[in-house]
Chain A
């Protein structure tokens, strides 16, 4: 009963927040799926932050705080409710594909999703404590310290156990510990279920966001590609933080693309920027790599501010004035600010220094070593070609082939929002590259055990942007 109540408060708070930050678009079902998918991540983010704040201020009545947060968000979502209006849906509904092909695609997606769900559940049952060291040695260990530590919960961030990476952010441990508090014991099924929820919410989010922006065929292709990525399903049940991070990266990119798309044609709802800002700060609250992504997003949005044509087609109307663009950027910064402040407090007051920047002099020396650049570049190329553990044909190559067959030389301009998002992801990848350059660990060991997971963090967003760009569209909207 306690678990049901906790789950309700978590998802309902997330749903209310998602309803506040996204607009009504497309069909009721797609709209509902988008908000339901987002509600998982937002809800767990809220649970994590609430738990930490309760620990900091020694508040023991968690249920009262959760109830108050839910009522507040519900009230706000009612007050700022968005009404569905005419012309909101922008996705083309008429497609040029034959009907039999669309049916085959839908059936294939159902098969892939069913197999993914079956495999994920079986893996979660077979690995109740996660699949790999990081699950218990980092994330679940931190959750145990937060939950079992009582007034000594800060002990989990001791420098005596540096291998547990006490500088890692607390979205997952906080959310897990919050659920354990309702249960009264550290049930290993909680992190397992959270992992499953993030995995399938990412698929739902990918499908619904693309369905709104491009229609059902690209959305089905994208969701099929993600569901059919073996490494995504494996990691989804590993109880690592890479899939949750990929969820927040995708949420950020999807909401910004929705905003940019609408800002070209009309006054875009700025609540989308609030949603994107919250998502990117939750990404940074999930893993340190999320901080890198946050910096990349803010840098690119600032670039968009300085060079608006970077965002838009040259021929497209620019409805947003200079002042409005600055206001939009300010809203994004305001939405990011609470999360950044929390992370700054955590890094400054709670967590010991991380291991990557422990020796600046040696790091500088490593930066000047060309052999390291070459080694990382080779691993990047190898990772791109082998990524995802697909059977016979890697997903990256399958998508490349898809693009080469369907490309249209007369259609060169990407949709708005794609270019800044691609640059943000590229900057994030470049940041990963820089971290490998200065890593104090053996570079090959570090690449071997982390590079594919770093690629995985960006994989759902890469699929999203690919199917947003690839010229697979309609004859036009149905009348």
Chain B
């Protein structure tokens, strides 16, 4: 016997073992094909709106602001969303700038709902520019 074959799990073939393997293989194939059907049914359909359109829109929303900011460094952040997602999107769009979720920086990025931008700048902040779509740039009067 070839030496390496000693290491494999083999036993003499018999009609019974062949039948067992046939049954097991068939059942396993059925299970896998059922699951394959699920993979097919979960595949996004044609014309479906990309779920991550929000990423693209974030990059676009902050494009003008990014040009107005320094290329490196740290800026502050203020927003009206309870979810941290908006802050994360802002950081992703403005990288390689570090966006700190704090207003203790000379420049602070404002990320507000496009339909309800703040009428007045938050305390300690002075509006530098409104880029539209709820994106604003503030300066912190108390931090140089």
Question: Which residues of chain A have a CB within 8 Å of any CB of chain B?
Answer: 87, 90, 92, 96-98, 101, 104-105, 108, 111-112, 115-116, 118-119, 122-123, 125-131, 133, 136-137, 140-141, 144-145, 148-150, 152-153, 155-156, 158, 160-161, 163-164, 188, 214, 217, 221, 224-225, 227-230, 233-234, 261-262, 264-266, 313, 315-317, 388-393, 395, 398-399, 401-402, 405-406, 408, 410-411, 413-416, 469-477
Give 20 A-B pairs besides A90-B4, A160-B74 with Cβ atoms closer than 8 angstroms.
A96-B13, A101-B22, A118-B40, A122-B44, A126-B48, A127-B51, A127-B52, A144-B92, A149-B72, A153-B96, A158-B74, A228-B39, A229-B35, A230-B39, A388-B35, A398-B28, A398-B32, A405-B20, A410-B11, A413-B9
Contact B9 A408 (CB under 8 A): yes
Contact B13 A475 (CB under 8 A): yes
| 8 Å CB contact of A97 from B2, B6, B18, B96 | B18
Q: Would A148 and B8 be within 8 Å (CB), given that A115-B39, A228-B35, A390-B35 are in contact?
A: no
Q: Would A112 and B10 be within 8 Å (CB), given that A133-B85, A164-B91, A472-B21 are in contact?
A: no
Contact A90 B5 (CB under 8 A): yes
| In the complex, chain B residues whose CB is within 8 Å of the CB of A97 | 18, 21-22, 25
Chain A interface mostly: helix
**CA gap between A153 and B95 in the complex, in Å:** 10
**CA gap between A149 and B72 in the complex, in Å:** 7
| In the complex, chain A residues whose CB is within 8 Å of the CB of B23 | 405
| In the complex, chain B residues whose CB is within 8 Å of the CB of A158 | 74, 98
**CA gap between A399 and B11 in the complex, in Å:** 20
**CA gap between A44 and B52 in the complex, in Å:** 25
**CA gap between A266 and B6 in the complex, in Å:** 13
| 8 Å CB contact of A476 from B3, B10, B51, B97 | B10
Would you call B31 an interface residue if the criterion is a C-beta within 8 Å of the partner chain's C-beta atoms?
A: yes
Q: Would A405 and B24 be within 8 Å (CB), given that A123-B44, A398-B31 are in contact?
A: yes
Contact B24 A401 (CB under 8 A): yes
**CA gap between A145 and B71 in the complex, in Å:** 11
Residue ID in chain B nearest A95 by CB atoms: B21
**CA gap between A414 and B5 in the complex, in Å:** 12
Contact B91 A87 (CB under 8 A): no
| In the complex, chain A residues whose CB is within 8 Å of the CB of B26 | 101, 104
Q: Would A148 and B95 be within 8 Å (CB), given that A405-B24, A408-B17, A476-B5 are in contact?
A: yes
Q: Would A395 and B6 be within 8 Å (CB), given that A126-B51, A161-B99, A476-B1 are in contact?
A: no
Contact A395 B55 (CB under 8 A): no
Would you call B115 an interface residue if the criterion is a C-beta within 8 Å of the partner chain's C-beta atoms?
A: no
| In the complex, chain B residues whose CB is within 8 Å of the CB of A475 | 10, 12-13
**CA gap between A209 and B3 in the complex, in Å:** 19
**CA gap between A352 and B80 in the complex, in Å:** 29
Contact A155 B28 (CB under 8 A): no
Shortest Cβ distance from residue B112 to the other chain A in the assembled complex, whole angstroms: 21
| In the complex, chain A residues whose CB is within 8 Å of the CB of B72 | 149-150, 152, 155
Contact A416 B99 (CB under 8 A): no
Chain B interface mostly: helix
- Cβ < 8 Å to A, chain B residues 14-61: 17-18, 20-29, 31-40, 42-44, 48, 50-52, 55-56
Contact A406 B20 (CB under 8 A): yes
| In the complex, chain B residues whose CB is within 8 Å of the CB of A133 | 85, 88
| In the complex, chain A residues whose CB is within 8 Å of the CB of B96 | 144-145, 148-150, 152-153, 155-156
| In the complex, chain A residues whose CB is within 8 Å of the CB of B85 | 133
| 8 Å CB contact of B11 from A228, A470, A471 | A471
**CA gap between A116 and B36 in the complex, in Å:** 7
| In the complex, chain B residues whose CB is within 8 Å of the CB of A148 | 95-96
| In the complex, chain B residues whose CB is within 8 Å of the CB of A224 | 28-29, 32
Contact A477 B10 (CB under 8 A): no
- Residue in B2, B10, B50, B97 whose Cβ sees the most chain A Cβ within 10 Å: B10
| In the complex, chain B residues whose CB is within 8 Å of the CB of A229 | 35
Residue ID in chain B nearest A214 by CB atoms: B8
Contact B8 A415 (CB under 8 A): yes
**CA gap between A227 and B8 in the complex, in Å:** 25
Residue ID in chain A nearest B2 by CB atoms: A477
Contact A313 B7 (CB under 8 A): yes
| In the complex, chain A residues whose CB is within 8 Å of the CB of B84 | 163
Contact A144 B9 (CB under 8 A): no
Contact A140 B34 (CB under 8 A): no
**CA gap between A265 and B3 in the complex, in Å:** 5
Shortest Cβ distance from residue B16 to the other chain A in the assembled complex, whole angstroms: 10
